[in-house]
Amino acid sequence: MKTRRYMVLLLLVVALFQGCAFSRGTLGDDIKAEAVSLIQKGVTTKAEILNLLGAPDRLLQLNGRDVFQYYRYDAKAGSLLLILLNFTRLSIKSDDLFVILNRDGLVEDIIASKRTDSLRFRFWPFGE
Amino acid sequence: MTNVWTKVASILIGAVVCLPFIGCNVVRVTLNTSLTPEDVAFIVPGQTTLADIVDKLGAPDTLTNSETGVVATYRFLDLKYSRVNFGWLAKPWTPIDPDLIFSRTGFGVDAFEVHCNQQWIVLHQGFQRHLVRPPFHPYPFQQSQRVGGRELPTSNGLAIMASHGFGHIRPSVSSAQ
């Protein structure tokens, strides 16, 4: 009796998820929050930043100051393939970190945001 | 007899309602969160700092140098694609695989740029384009209208608004002054 119930449940799950597709793509390494929290303004040096986070994805010059830019992109796609009617939604978000270094090679400022935490698989393309 | 006609009428109405969805694909691609003029209304040139903006909108996608300071750019995309293949209607009656496809893509690419001075105070800000509502209908022969600096589709049925609101932004930002 129990086996039959499990079989029905399994068939129901299979029937509900047939025609669904999940895809994911990432670009760049994860920017570790622990590493970012160790950075101290006016104290941490350029060499320590390189040790903590590795080489930057981009090296910029702003007002005579070096800026290290780190980024990571995360993409999640959900597709609902109903043969006659197909819905697909691809959402891409990025984590960005800018470390601004002064002329002495010390951290002057940090600009960071982590958006990929809120990224979800979505199927419905309408609305928000 | 009346019952039969009711059934036939129901089937016909059902077919007419389902017809526009036959062989239909709807795709949406979003990169970051679309910004609207309302989202950036808090910015006051000469007063707001880049740190204030980062607190509300998160880190920009790029920072570039300019002669008078720094330009922070927030890029976003809200691509909408829809496609209908009317060839599906003939499939049951033909030995070949006919296609009659209408499709349309609205790229919805935009960027919000903030120009700051060397003290990180905002001097100017503005959107690169004003495509807040790209079309979301498969009919490719219709022109879009530009109303009040915004791209609006002429049909009022199937267009939808670009998304609003922000994801979770960790405000690990300190004063940039």
For A83-122, what is each residue's pLDDT tens digit? Answer: 778 999 999 999 999 999 999 999 999 999 999 998 999 9
Residue A29 lies in a domain: yes
Q: What is the mean pLDDT of residues B125-134?
A: 75
Is the pLDDT confidence value at B160 over 50? no
B14 or B105, greater pLDDT: B105
Residue A49 lies in a domain: yes
Residue A128 lies in a domain: no
Residue A19 lies in a domain: yes
The residue behind tokens 């700051």 is: B116
Residue A127 lies in a domain: no
**Residue from A63, A68, A89, A100 whose CB has the most chain B CBs within 10 Å, to mutate:** A63
Lowest mean pLDDT among A66-70, A72-76, A123-127: A123-127
User: Min CA distance, B2 vs chain A (Å)?
Assistant: 32
Residue A58 lies in a domain: yes
* pLDDT for B154: 40
Do the chains contact at A63 and B70, CB–CB below 8 Å?
Answer: yes
* pLDDT for B170: 34
Q: Which parts of chain B fold into alpha helices (H)?
A: 2-18, 50-57
Do the chains contact at A115 and B164, CB–CB below 8 Å?
Answer: no
Type of residue found at B56: K
Q: Does B84 touch chain A if contact means CB atoms closer than 8 Å?
A: no
Is the pLDDT confidence value at B35 over 60? yes
Report how many Cβ contacts below 8 Å link chain A to chain B. 122
Residue A126 lies in a domain: no
* pLDDT for B164: 33
- Confidence band for B155, pLDDT divided at 50, 70 and 90: very low
Percentage of residues in chain B having pLDDT higher than 90: 33
Question: Would you say A110 and A36 are in contact if contact means Cβ atoms under 8 Å apart?
Answer: yes
Could you give the CA distance from residue B83 to residue B27 in angstroms, rounded to a whole number? 9
pTM of the model: 0.74
Q: What is the mean pLDDT of residues B153-160?
A: 35
* C-alpha radius of gyration, chain B, whole number: 24
Return left, alpha or beta for A115; rule: phi > 0 is left, psi -120 to 50 is alpha, else beta: alpha
Domain span at residue A74 reads 2-118
* pLDDT for B157: 32
Q: Is the ipTM of this complex over 0.85?
A: no
Residue A78 lies in a domain: yes
Chain centroid offset of residue B22 CA: 24
* CB-based contacts of B60, cutoff 8 Å, min separation 6: A96, A111, B54, B72, B73, B74, B114
Is the pLDDT confidence value at A45 over 90? yes
Is the pLDDT confidence value at B132 over 70? no
The CA distances from residue B42 to B24, B56, B63, B116, B120, in Å, are: 41, 9, 20, 15, 16
Do the chains contact at B63 and A69, CB–CB below 8 Å?
Answer: yes
Of these ranges, A1-5, A59-63, B3-7, the one predicted with the greatest mean pLDDT is: A59-63
* pLDDT for B169: 34
B26 or B138, greater pLDDT: B26
* CB-based contacts of B42, cutoff 8 Å, min separation 6: B48, B52, B56
A5 or A52, greater pLDDT: A52
Is the pLDDT confidence value at B153 over 60? no
B109 or B42, greater pLDDT: B42
Structural domains of chain A, count: 1
Q: Does B70 touch chain A if contact means CB atoms closer than 8 Å?
A: yes
